[in-house]
Each structure stands twice: as C-alpha cells, then as structure tokens.
Chains A and B, each alone.
Chain A
Amino acid sequence: MSFINYSSREINCKIVYYGPGLCGKTTNLQYIYNKTNPDLKGKMISLATETERTLFFDFLPLALGQIRGFKTRFHLYTVPGQVFYDASRKLILKGVDGVVFVADSQVERMEANIESLENLRQNLGEQGYDLDKISCVVQYNKRDLPNAADLDEMKRLLNPKAIPDFEACATHGKGVFETLKAVARGVLRDLKQMSR
C-alpha cells in the first residue's frame, strides 16, 4: 500500500523480497546497501539470529529520485525464509506494493523454491492480494554455482506466466539492481493505473 504524502511531496512504496531459506534475500539487500550512494539510503536493519539467519525481517529504505516533483522512496524488506517462520512472513507482506521472488538455483533447492512460491501465493491471498495481479519479478540467484539447475527448467517451474525474471549472483551483485529496477518499475506503473 503506497503512501502519497502531499505535504512532504513524497511517495513511499513497500517491496518485499521473498524466497526459501538461504536463497540470498538478505544478500540482495546488503549488496544494494553497499553500492548505494549514502545520500540515497537510510540505515539497514537486520533482525537476525546469532548465526545471521533472518529472524523477523531486514529493512532498507531507499530514495530513487523525483518523479513529477515527488520524492520516490522504496522500503525494501526481506522475510525470514525458513519454513517455521511463516507467521512472521505473513506480517511482513501487509501493505506490500511489489514482490521479488528470489529462487535458489541449486538443483537440490528446487522443491524448496516451489514450496516457497506456493507459500507466497497463499500468504498474499490471506492479505487480500493476488500473486498474478501484484507487481512481481523472479530472480534466479546463485547462477554461478556448479550445481545450478537448468534455467529453462526453472522458468517452467517457477515462472510459467513469464513475468519479468533475472539471472543473478547476489554475492557479486550480478542481476541485483536489474531485479530492483524491474520491480520498482512495476510498482510505479501500478500507481499510474490506480491514479487514472
């Protein structure tokens, strides 16, 4: 749910990175944080366990510039990927404007990817959203690993409707900003549609 503030001439949107445990959601945000001009970003918050697994969420506020005189700000969140944190995932999806589904390319994680995508659809549904209607992009992460699954097979399983998708290696930054730009574009286009 975007927030348009005429007083401060700002528009705020919420983007959630979703995906199975250890697929690289937090790594995406860390890369964005490290590579963004300090004037454009706020503090990155990670509510994580002692072993650096996301416990509740990561949060990164990002300013993208102005559009028609309004400052556009994106609030990026990740969810905890581990299966048993489902209650937390539902909470973080509240008020979402756009979703990045981060898939783990390793062959042995394919079932976890499918399960997580199904979980995303269900949890969005509980909040009144439809995965097929909300702005969403898919990122195939960890493409550099030797056990990465065939890309066409991943597309067939995880992106049958051919929404925008990107190959990535989040630790090195490949595909990270392309993914972010695509979801931000989708969110702004939705905003345009809603304003008509």
Chain B
Amino acid sequence: MHDTQLVMYDEDFRKILAVTQRLVKDANAKGVFVVDRNGQLIGEAGEMRGIDTTSLASLTAGCIAATGGLAKIVGEDEFPVHFHQGQRDNLHITLIAGRIILVVVFDERSSLGLVRLRVKKAGAQLARVFEEIQKKSDQGQGRGAGTPFAEITDEDIDNLFSV
C-alpha cells in the first residue's frame, strides 16, 4: 500500500515546531529541519533561515531513498542514521518512524555525540506527534473531509492556469 495523504493542521505544526526549536537549543545546532520522506519540508528552526530549504528537503529525501535501497540490497531494512562531515558544517540525518526525516546541521559549537543524544529524545517526541497525525488521518479527519478541496470546482482549477 502506498502512503496516505499527509494533512497537517496548525496544532500539529506548533507541536513539531516546539520540538525542533528545543532541539536547536539542546544540541547547539545551527539548524533543524523536518522533512517528509517524499521530499516535502514540514518544519524548520534555527539560524539557517534563507537557505534553499525546498532543495534541501528534496535532496535529503533522495539521500534517504537511495541509502534505503542500498540497505535492502545488503539485507537491512533501512540505514536510519546518516552522518555527513564537512569542513565547517556537518549533517546528521535520521529517519523517524519510517516516514519522517530529521536533519540537524551543526558546526564546531556542538559535537556528534551531543547531537546523537538530543536527536534520540526529539525523534521519539516527533514520532508521537506523527502518530497522532496518522491517527487523525485514519479516522477520516485528515483525509480532507471538510477541507476546502472538497469544494473546488473545475473553474478554480482552470483559473490557476489562466494567469
């Protein structure tokens, strides 16, 4: 079965934001990004605002997808934790609950050990938030019932292309 549609309400977003902001502080990170496995950016926090987050999300998802493929070849389910070391900045990428990707960017103000430790806690919190989102979706609340999209007309769609 393929993934269900992801619908995120304001209250969900606020919970995700709270976890990412706390992680920035606790891990001394430059930036924290939460990305859907399909490459959509869900939330961000930290001092890296202004960077191309759309590309970051898409490439992170590509990276997770490629290593996931590699994992299957060698008989693993996933490689859920990735670490990329740069000259100044480093990337710590974690796959959470098989669906959400947590990206932490950090420099010499932090350390891999500290990031790992803090990501573990934040990851568990995010997993719970996304479990709730999934639950809502399964109950039909998040499947778009009552969303503005139920009411869109062909004219609305055509208007998108008329500009």
Contacts and interface: CB of A to CB of B under 8 A. Distances in A.
A94 B65 contact: yes
15 contacts: A2-B5, A3-B42, A7-B8, A45-B59, A61-B55, A65-B160, A65-B163, A70-B148, A75-B54, A91-B62, A94-B2, A95-B37, A95-B39, A128-B1, A185-B157
Interface of B: 1-10, 12-14, 36-40, 42, 52, 54-55, 58-59, 62, 65-66, 68-69, 143-145, 147-152, 154, 156-161, 163
A188 B157 contact: yes
A68 B5 contact: no
A127 B2 contact: yes
Of the listed residues A8, A92, A185, A195, the one surrounded by the most CB atoms of chain B closer than 10 A to its CB is A195
A41 to B, nearest CB: 10
Contacts of B52: 42-43
Interface in A9-44: 11-12, 14, 42-43
A72 B160 contact: yes
A180 to B, nearest CB: 9
Interface residues of A, number: 47
Contacts of A121: none
Given A12-B40, A196-B150, A3 B66 contact: no
A194 B152 contact: no
A58 B13 CA distance: 29
A194 to B, nearest CB: 5
A162 interface: no
Given A3-B42, A4-B6, A129-B2, 12 more contacts: A6-B7, A12-B40, A42-B52, A43-B52, A43-B55, A64-B160, A67-B152, A67-B156, A68-B148, A95-B2, A95-B37, A191-B152
Contact of A184 (B13, B62, B160): B160
A101 interface: no
A189 interface: yes
A47 interface: yes
Contacts of A146: none
Of the listed residues B6, B36, B159, the one surrounded by the most CB atoms of chain A closer than 10 A to its CB is B6
Interface string A115-139: 0000000000001110000000000
A18 B118 CA distance: 40
Given A5-B8, A68-B152, A189-B157, A91 B55 contact: no
Nearest to B73: A87
A192 interface: yes
